[in-house]
Amino acid sequence: MTLDTRAEAGTGPASAAWPIRLDGVSVTYPNGTAALRDVSLTIEAGEMVSVVGLSGSGKSTLIRTLNGLVPVTSGTVTVGPHTVTGLSGRRLRQVRGHVGMIFQGFNLATRVDVYRNTLVGRFAQAGALRGFLGVPTAHDRDVTLAALDMVGMLDKVWTRAGSLSGGQQQRVAIARALSQEPSIMLADEPVASLDPPTAHAVMGELERINADHHLTVLVNLHLMDLARQYTHRMIGLRGGEVVYDGPAAEATEADFEQIYGRRIRPQDRLGGRT
């Protein structure tokens, strides 16, 4: 399985962005918690969208329905030409291969070097035999190294991931997602474990991915200023329901109070760059 949009070696991953569509999506966990209630959304290809809400609002669940990490209870999720709902096995892995994801906790194997952590992004493209033996192609290697170069981590390629700083680990995680040559980039609270300057650097990286590679970027945030500053459209979630959907820059304090369900507090802003 190869992508048709092959970048020349060195210029890095490139592929066509995908739209995202949710139709009446509800998720109820086995313990009875209703995490999403009848959510319908359309995100155009190439949009940069934030999903804002407090913890427990359902934003982590929402982002995980898009790559099937969380199965929906009812409704339909569509990414690009694929309906994620009901997919499993090889076909689900193929769709996941086109959807990059980064996490709050970076989710790197700490005792494994940066190169092998980043190479994980190429796993979905591996043929049966190479996948079984774990042998990457020369092309896999080129794409991986180009992705690391793009986030400025090429000089750390043989370093153990666990010995890097938080910001560096998140950059490696971004490189891992980019090496998938994805059509959609998902980010679940990507800066919640980082200090303010590093958080701005990582958000800037996501902004650049959206602008330079024209990827659809969906980022979960709980801080209002980050959402306003880095994303164009904002979706507010509260109690598993969409309570705001509109331009991020123009969202008022009242809109945020509606999303949070309480008054604005100082900790709702990160501060730093304006």
Partner 1 sequence: MTPGTTAEPATRSELPPRPRTWPRRTLIVSALAAFTVATCLPAIGGVEIDLGAIAQNWRRGAANLSALLQPNWAFVPRTVQPMLETLQMAFVGAAIAAALSVPLTLWAARPTNPHTPSRLAVRAVINVIRAVPDLVWATILVAMVGVGALPGLLTLVLFDVGIVVKLVSEAIDSADHPYLEAARAGGATQHQMNRGLALPQNLPLFANQWLYALELNVRISAILGIVGAGGIGRLLDERFGFFAYGDVSVIILEILVVVLIIEAASHLLRRRLA
**Binding region for partner 1 (CB under 8 A):** 67, 69, 92-101, 103, 105-112, 116-117, 119-121, 123-124, 126, 131-132, 134, 173, 176-177, 180, 186
Q: How far is the CB of 20 from partner 1 (least distance, A)?
A: 15
Q: What does the DSSP 8-state code read for residue 81? A: T
Nearer to partner 1, 111 or 250 (CB): 111
Which residue, 73 or 193, has its beta carbon nearer to partner 1? Answer: 193
Task: Look at the chain and count its residues.
Answer: 274
- Residue 26 CB, nearest distance to partner 1 (Å)? 22
CA pair distance 100, 183, nearest whole angstrom: 8
The residue among 12 and 100 lying less far from partner 1, judged by its C-beta, is 100
Q: 7-45 burial, b for 16+ CB within 10 Å, e for fewer?
A: beeeebbbbebbbbbbbebbbeeeeeebbbeebebebee
Which CB, 123 or 244, lies closer to partner 1? 123
Whole-number minimum distance, CB 231 to partner 1, in Å?
A: 21
Minimum gap (Å) between residue 158 Cβ and partner 1? 13
Nearer to partner 1, 92 or 154 (CB): 92
Whether the Cβ atoms of residue 25 and residue 10 lie closer than 8 Å to each other: no
Cα 100 from Cα 175, distance rounded (Å): 10
Residue among 180, 188, 179 nearest 146 (CA): 179
Shortest Cβ distance from residue 112 to partner 1 (Å)?
A: 5
User: DSSP character for 156?
Assistant: G
